């Protein structure tokens, strides 16, 4: 994930500022991702490695769909920055996810597998959320509708269908049949990757992704659902005394983790900006329609 984010950050920096060194840093990150993290024997990306003196030692070879989502995101943004060698890897990574993690019956992705690709029974929304983010980027990079179609399907299945099982909000953990697992990590609500409880930052992050999806596919449910998720996070997790959003709250609405993480504030900040933009655009459209009617 960190290696992929390195590529993403420098690809974005190059697109924004045009500094050639940022493009070279992104290329360097891509080479490391492909040459160091890639396990050619089992055809997967190792989750954690040690790199010393130009040699790799795998510390954790678990295959995470969450990790592959970041790989797809890295290739997509590298391609948008003009790195040609990244373009074929977008399709290759999508096909790997399709082959190893896609649960066609559920219309969602499984969570993780062993280094030899034995898929576990764990199911979660987080891998699907980041896959949606990556699929949107893949569509932006290629224009191919297959990525947009899949992003819409995953987004609707998580934020509509699955959310109906959990009080209308996005719950984190599910059983193999995609029924809600209310007790996964119940004693570990602060787990950095797999916490128990509703995650306010994930409610707002999904809202952000729905608004991005609406740019390319203006479905009537996207904006109202984004508003619902954003409002729920603000209602249940906003610290009125010190500012910011807490990390998690339980099914009863009580905050279960009072810590504050930077990413929660960042996602909420970005989503608030997109919601403001969406409302402004609709207000202007309403004025135009009124003027035309007059």
* pLDDT at residue number 288: 54
* pLDDT at residue number 289: 59
Residue 70 has pLDDT above 70, yes or no: yes
pLDDT tens-digit profile of 147-157?
A: 999 999 999 99
pLDDT tens-digit profile of 272-287?
A: 999 999 988 877 666 5
* pLDDT at residue number 56: 95
Its pTM stands at 0.94
Ranges of each domain in the chain: 1-184, 197-294
Length of the chain: 294
pLDDT tens-digit profile of 177-192?
A: 999 999 999 888 778 7
The mean per-residue pLDDT over the stretch 126-151 comes to 98
Query: Greater confidence, 86 or 293?
Result: 86
Mean per-residue pLDDT over the chain, rounded: 95
User: What is each CA distance from 29 to 9, 23, 75, 145, 270, in whole angstroms?
Assistant: 10, 10, 10, 28, 26
Closest CA relative to residue 245, chosen from 225, 223, 271: 271
* pLDDT at residue number 193: 79
CB contact at 8 A, 194 and 127: no
The mean per-residue pLDDT over the stretch 132-146 comes to 98
The mean per-residue pLDDT over the stretch 267-274 comes to 97
The mean per-residue pLDDT over the stretch 223-246 comes to 97
Q: Which two tokens stand for residue 31?
A: 């080479």
CATH topology of domain 1-184: Glycosyltransferase (1.50.10)
Q: Which residue spans within the chain are E strands per DSSP?
A: 38-39, 44-45, 48-52, 55-60, 63-64, 102-103, 108-109, 112-113, 123-124, 173-174, 248-249, 255-257
* pLDDT at residue number 291: 54
* pLDDT at residue number 127: 97
- Give the separation between CA 211 and CA 265, rounded to whole angstroms: 18
* pLDDT at residue number 60: 97
* pLDDT at residue number 190: 79
């Amino acid at each position: 994930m960190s290696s992929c984010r390195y590529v993403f950050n420098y690809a974005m920096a190059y697109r924004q500022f045009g500094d050639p060194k940022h493009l070279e840093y992104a290329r360097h990150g891509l080479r490391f991702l492909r040459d160091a993290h890639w396990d050619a024997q089992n055809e997967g990306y190792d989750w954690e490695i040690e790199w010393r003196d130009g040699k790799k030692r795998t510390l954790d070879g678990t295959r995470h769909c969450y990790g592959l989502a970041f790989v797809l995101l890295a290739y997509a943004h590298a391609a948008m920055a003009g790195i040609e060698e990244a373009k074929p890897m977008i399709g290759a990574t999508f096909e790997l996810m399709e082959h190893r993690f896609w649960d066609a019956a559920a219309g969602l992705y499984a969570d993780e597998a062993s280094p030899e690709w034995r898929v576990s029974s764990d199911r979660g929304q987080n891998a699907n959320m980041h896959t949606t983010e990556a699929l949107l980027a893949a569509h932006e990079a290629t224009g191919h509708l297959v990525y947009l179609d899949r992003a819409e399907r995953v987004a609707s299945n998580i934020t509509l269908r699955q959310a109906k099982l959990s009080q209308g909000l996005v719950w984190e953990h599910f059983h193999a049949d995609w029924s809600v697992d209310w007790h996964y990590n119940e004693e570990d609500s602060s787990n950095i990757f797999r916490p128990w409880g509703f995650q306010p930052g994930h409610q707002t992050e999904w809202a952000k992704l729905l608004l991005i999806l609406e740019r390319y596919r203006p479905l009537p449910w996207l904006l109202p659902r984004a508003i619902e998720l954003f409002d729920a996070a603000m209602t249940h997790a906003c610290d009125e005394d010190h500012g910011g959003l807490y990390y998690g709250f339980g099914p009863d609405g009580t905050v279960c983790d009072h810590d504050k993480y930077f990413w929660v504030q960042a996602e909420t900040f970005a989503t608030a900006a997109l919601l403001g933009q969406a409302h402004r655009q609709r207000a202007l459209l309403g004025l135009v329609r009124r003027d035309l009617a007059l």
